[in-house]
Structure 1
Amino acid sequence: MTADAERAEAERLIANAFEVPTSYRDATPLPAVGTTPPVPQPGRPPMSQRATDASSLMLYAGLSTVPPGLIAIGLLIASDYADPVVVGMICAAPAVIAVPILAVARLLRGAQGIVPPEHHHHYNGPVSQQHHTVSTQTRGLIAKTTNNGS
């Protein structure tokens, strides 16, 4: 191609470039926002990136213990070293941990009756109420409470 032919082709391309639209704006109105409740989306619930990473790490760490456990079970069964007493102790370990936790929960449920019931006072005549703010400070493993105020 000669220089004149190249120049003519470039001018033709530049002239045609402005005839074809390069963007489009959709002018249709957006739908109105109503009182429709949010719909749960599939997948993981929304959370921060750090929480997502931590939950993924916990899932994969838990899954990574399955193959070695299955291999150990297979070896114990194949070699006849699986002692039923030891297996029973291992299986009972979660129950040994759960029993005190359940006992404390039952104790706390029983403590609800200790709180005095709500009192309503009805007065006939003028009544003066005074409210005082009391600052409380609690410190230590065995708590010592100091009340400062009138």
Structure 2
Amino acid sequence: MAAWEPRLSDAEANAEAKRIINEAYRPVRQIPTAYRDFNPTPLIGDAEPIRQDDRRTVPAWAAGTAVASIGIGAGVTGIGCGAWLVLKGLSAMTITGVAAICAPFIGVAFAALAIGAAVSKAKASSSKHIYQGSVTKHTHVTTHTRGVLSRTHNHLHS
């Protein structure tokens, strides 16, 4: 005799297999995903108020920051596109055209340089020193270096 003998007859095994298959493929109970209110709506006036929970997922400050970021990004993109168009137009020009565009900037730079030189000359007027005698100053510096990263502290003693 074999070590294992079947305990069900063929008819019982077929019935059990049919039961298992029917149970596995049984339709699943449908769960509703929406709710409809069947209460009658009043013909005149407003309907009664219904409590609606506040379920915001984003705080107001975060939404404001996001909107500001989008605005700044759009603005910077516009500026970048404008700069690209200007630079592309300048790169397609001849050397004469570039010189003609740069001439006003060069003129402003020369005017600023001339004004700066005039102011510098005006400030550097000669003055007479009223000091009489010699001036001496004795300064003593104490230095302390400590630590692994070598922090140095200098102390001035006059």
**Structure number with bigger Rg:** 2
User: TM (normalized to structure 2)?
Assistant: 0.27
